[in-house]
Amino acid sequence: MASIWIILLFITYMEPVFSATVVEDLANLHPPPDFNTTITSNCLKNPSLRYCGSSPMDLDVIFKFTIVASHLCNESKNPNCVETFPKIDLRNRPKIAPLYLSFTFFWKYCPLTVISIDLSNNSLKGTFPIDALLCTQVQALDFSHNVLTGDVPIQSLSPLTNLTVLNLSYNHFSEAKISDSRFLKRFDPSCFFQSGIIPSHHRYKIKAIMLLLGFPLVVVFMVGCLWWLCFRRPDYLPGLLRNKHKFTPAMLKVATNGFSKKNILGKGEGFVTYRGVLRDGTQVRVETYLDSKNSREKCHRKYVEECKVLVQLCHKNLVLVYGWCSNRHMRALVTEWIGRVSVDMWLSETSPSWKHRFKVLVGVLKALCYLQDQWPEICCDVKTSSVLLRENGEPLIARFRVGDDSNTKKIHRFGVFALEMITYRTLRDEFEGNEAGFVEYVKMVYPGKLQKVIDEKMKLTENTLDQARQTIYIGLMCADHQTCRQLSLGQIYNMITKVYSRIRCTNVST
């Protein structure tokens, strides 16, 4: 400190000349005769002064250094250039900053009191002003807003251990990776904003990876989701976006708990029915068809066409068809859930009255008439084992398909159904699989020995026995392959309703 004070004192001493520029002073001023003594005593007091190390000391250069130092101190707006000299501030001084930078001797002897150097916004060209780094004690260095090029001299910056503020923003340095340099990593990335130096190699890498890998991954993920939604679980799509009649194997698998054995309702020739619960909580009956892969592929389109017809059926005695599933792996029909009670079970387990049996018969006949009228191409399965019962006693035809079903076949089947409704169970068991034999037997006992076949559990009165007899008569007519040809469902309906009106009459009279 003392040395500077002495030097500056010495300069101030020459006040009149000092008003000249630094260049003029450097050219005109010469060391006074006692300069050697002054410097020597300075160095004795403070040996750390930079110019003290050189031997022999070049007095001329040291003198020039003092001239530049005093000018620079003044230019840097230091408050008191006589005592201390803490900052070199040449911000926004493009005219003089390069000049001061060119005085290599000044920087070589850089005053130890300088702790901050600001050379920003000076349009400095060329490579990094490495001479400034000779002031190794500085704590702040601002070179921002210049046009510096080339490499950042990390080797020369590293000795600046007290440096806490570094600003290289807005320059044109060659690319360097902050992450590669231990020194640069000490500083905030904002110090290198638009400096040419890549703030964080790592961050860029992540961004690049995100773009290169992440984007395709996101696309793949979205496509995957879409595929999953569209082809596997469309039930997760909003109702508007999907065909509510179309079910996928994945949906049915979930609904039936993986087609678990517990959910099997029944098996038949080429089909298995399951109970299931859809995602929205609707209980359904799922009928899956066990057909070979080849035939499945062949009839896929035809099957869908058929199902599109079936979902339009609307009759209180026909099971409501919700939709279908058809692809390479499976074919299935999804219908409303009615329960497990088939007419067969109902007959053997609850011994229903004649009136109830008759109601079932009429219901089935109504459904047949509806199909005959509206959908003649649909054939259905009218068997006591496949017709289901609602809790209110209404029968429901639960199995049907599109295909040629002749009228006579329908009538014949209804006839057998009617006979089965009235005869006792064990008789049907005797003729299991021999429908013709069963019909023949009933025909044989009709009318005289009817008691032999009628289910006693109905507890018929004289009146109702008569009705049952008439119904058996109608049933036999329908079941007979010859007579059924001459009948229409309409005629049978008329005959049955006549019996029905009598039931109503007896109801009123009793």
CB of 117 to ligand NAG, least distance (A): 13
Q: Give exposure, 280-292, as e/b (b: 16+ Cβ within 10 Å).
A: eeeebbbbbbeee
Q: Minimum Å distance from CB 3 to ligand NAG?
A: 16
Residue 381 is among the residues annotated as catalytic for this protein? yes
| Measured CA distances, 166 to 452, 458, 492 (Å) | 114, 106, 104
DSSP 484: G
Instruction: Return d(Cα 142, Cα 116) in angstroms, integer.
Output: 8
- 447 — phi, psi (to 5°)? -100, -15
Which residue lies nearer to ligand NAG by CB, 113 or 463?
113
Do 204 and 198 form a contact (C-beta atoms < 8 A)? Answer: yes
Contacting range for ligand NAG; rule: CB under 6 A; set: 6-14, 185-193, 311-319, 432-440? 185-193
Among residues 131, 151, 291, 381, the one annotated as catalytic is 381
Helix (H) or strand (E) holding 276: strand 271-277
Residues 253-292 that bind ligand NAG (CB under 6 A): none
Closest CB 151 distance from ligand NAG, rounded Å? 20
> Quick check: 148 and 126 in contact, CB under 8 A?
yes
Pick 23 or 230: Cβ nearer ligand NAG = 23
Judged by CB under 6 A, the stretch of 6-14, 188-196, 315-323, 354-362 that binds ligand NAG is 188-196
Q: Does 80 bind ligand NAG (CB under 6 A)?
A: no
**DSSP-based three-state secondary structure for 247:** coil
The span from the CA of 327 to the CA of 458, in Å, is 48
Angle value at C-alpha 427, between 426 and 433, nearest 5 degrees: 100
Report if residue 144 touches ligand NAG, rule: CB under 6 A: yes
> Considering only residues 2, 17, 28, 36, which one is a binding residue for ligand NAG as defined by CB under 6 A?
36
| Cβ-based nearer residue to ligand NAG, 162 or 374 | 162
191 scored as a contact of ligand NAG (CB under 6 A): yes
Is there a contact between 116 and 145 (Cβ–Cβ < 8 Å)?
no
Count of residues in contact with ligand NAG, rule CB under 6 A? 19
Using CB under 6 A as the binding rule, whether residue 410 contacts ligand NAG is answered as no
Site string (97-126) toward ligand NAG, x via CB under 6 A: -----------------------xx-----
Query: Nearer to ligand NAG by C-beta: 139 or 463?
Result: 139
Q: Which residue is nearest to ligand NAG (CB)?
A: 137
The answer to whether the beta carbons of residues 311 and 247 sit under 8 Å apart is: no
Minimum distance from residue 60 beta carbon to ligand NAG (Å): 9
271: helix, coil or strand? strand
Q: Which stretch binds ligand NAG (CB under 6 A): 136-144, 235-243, 343-351, 450-458?
A: 136-144
363 class by beta-carbon count within 10 Å (0-12 exposed, 13-18 middle, 19+ buried): buried
When asked if residue 423 is in the footprint of ligand NAG (CB under 6 A), the reply is no
SS (H, E, C) 119-147: CCCCCCCCECCHHHHHCCCCCEEECCCCC
- Of 190, 292, 294, 510, the one binding ligand NAG (CB under 6 A) is 190
Q: Distance between CA atoms of 240 and 237, rounded to whole angstroms?
A: 8
Give residues 356-395 in contact with ligand NAG (rule: CB under 6 A).
none
Among the listed ranges 3-11, 160-168, 173-181, 448-456, the one in contact with ligand NAG (CB under 6 A) is 160-168
Active site residue ranges? 381
Q: What are the residues binding ligand NAG (CB under 6 A)?
A: 36, 40, 59, 74-75, 92, 120-121, 136-137, 144-145, 161-162, 167, 169, 188, 190-191
